Structure 1
């Protein structure tokens, strides 16, 4: 097995929305805002090369939305999915599986592209199986008013229409051991229903792809919960359990949305679980 980070592009989100009830005077120290109150956000994916399978975890925003849409998110930097894949010697047609932690647009937008005629949509990974779970799929395709703007039908429905959609099971204990994709999955419900958090065992380490359970290192303290979360009190409970487990077992956390820190570890302190160290991915996994 080999692992690669795939930088699909960077954008900005409102700092207040990203930190909920936490005052700007506090969160601005770890995630400084610009003059529009926007903070830097990454859309970092993970590529898993395992035998004859090439598994992409999340796909970023994609490029099919309008200039008006992207104008809300202040795209910055030069990273994109195709260039990042090429850097590691791959093409999107090589991808055998696309694992989607959840179906918010910044995690699945790259799954679907405009067709050649620009009058319809098609999968951006023509040879891949797409993986979600039935609970979350139903949640996303019949969205609540709070999340409706994040679940875009053009990102989601064409996956099913292509015949490439597959569902993973959700066990009663919310932890799926040795899934069909070869890694364990933790299911969490605070941010959105049945978000999937992959746990990959690699080189005697456990790497956890954090998705929106822990967007940045600035979100480690328990009350630091995004305003986007549908069940913030549940997020706090899920974070507490996970962070303690991660600190006890020295998990390495791959941060999907932290534009300035790729990987971190945790430690227990008198104030609770806090960051221990940060790393560049290539410092750990070569």
Structure 2
């Protein structure tokens, strides 16, 4: 197995929304805001080369929305999904599986492209993976979350016939070395990959813990649908990660790709940060 970091660029979101009830005087030390109270966040995906399968975990925000949409998010940076794949000798047609942790636009936007007047899957040879509970949640969104579930990012996947579901009730594995954890505080049935690699376990944090700055248990995003559920899920999974010496892989941390954990007087905190390629 080989793992590759796939950077798809940066965007900006409101710092207060990203840290919920935590005061700006605290979170601004680790994630400094600009004059508009916006913080920079990565959209970092992961490519898993496993035998004859090439699995892409999440896809970034994509580029098919209009200028008004993108004006809210201040996209920047030189990296893109295509350039990052090319850096490692791959292109979109090589992808056999697109594993979507959840269907929020900054995770699934790159899964669909616009060709003329048509919306079509960006990865023509891939199977797209979700799970029944999250799919139903995404295509029938509640009023609070509907702005994050854009039908143009989601429905073309189903219409293409390339969509398959993982059955959470049947077990927690995707492949032999690619396990799963299901969490529902941020959104219903978000999937966190747990990958065995070089005799280590790498937990892909998605939006359960977007960055190193979110490791303290009460640091929960205002975007989360069920904050107390997130709090309990974080406590359990960070405890599991500490006990088993997992490596955490961060999707949104603008600086840190990975970290290990240690127990401190203040709780579970960072032990060391590093790039995935340094493992």
- Smaller-chain TM-score range? over 0.9
Q: Which residue matches 2:158?
A: 160
In the alignment, is the contact (CA less than 8 A) between 1:244 and 1:268 conserved in 2?
no
Change (3 A) 1:282 1:180: closer
| Aligned-partner SS, 1:266 | strand
Q: Which residue matches 1:18?
A: 18
1:242 aligns with 2:240: no
Which structure 2 segments of 5+ residues have no match?
none
Per-residue CA distance 1:32-61 (angstroms, 9 max, x = gap):
101111111000000000111000000000
**Alignment partner for residue 122 of structure 2, among 124, 135, 146?**
124
Q: Which residue matches 2:269?
A: 274
Q: Which residue matches 2:29?
A: 29
Q: Which residue matches 2:144?
A: 146
Q: Which residue matches 1:52?
A: 52
Deviation at 1:144, TM superposition (A): 0.4
Query: 1:160-239 alignment to 2 at 5 Å?
Result: 160-171=158-169, 176-180=171-175, 182-239=177-234
| Aligned-partner SS, 1:148 | coil
In the alignment, is the contact (CA less than 8 A) between 2:10 and 2:254 conserved in 1?
yes
Per-residue CA distance 1:59-117 (angstroms, 9 max, x = gap):
000000011111100111111000000000000000000000000000000000001xx
User: Greater shift after overlay, 271-280 or 20-29?
Assistant: 271-280
| Aligned-partner SS, 2:141 | coil
**Alignment partner for residue 135 of structure 1, among 129, 133, 142?**
133
Q: Which residue matches 2:93?
A: 93
RMSD over aligned Cα atoms: 1.0
CA distance in 2, matches of 1:137, 1:160: 10
Per-residue CA distance 1:156-203 (angstroms, 9 max, x = gap):
00000000000001128xxx4332475110000000000000000010
CA distance in 1, matches of 2:86, 2:180: 28
CA distance in 1, matches of 2:278, 2:269: 21
Q: Which residue matches 1:106?
A: 106
Deviation at 1:280, TM superposition (A): 1.4
1:66 aligns with 2:61: no
In the alignment, is the contact (CA less than 8 A) between 2:177 and 2:196 conserved in 1?
no
| Aligned-partner SS, 2:107 | helix
Query: What is the aligned residue count?
Result: 279
TM-score, normalised by the number of residues in structure 1: 0.96
Which structure 1 segments of 5+ residues have no match?
none
CA distance in 2, matches of 1:280, 1:123: 30
Deviation at 1:125, TM superposition (A): 0.1
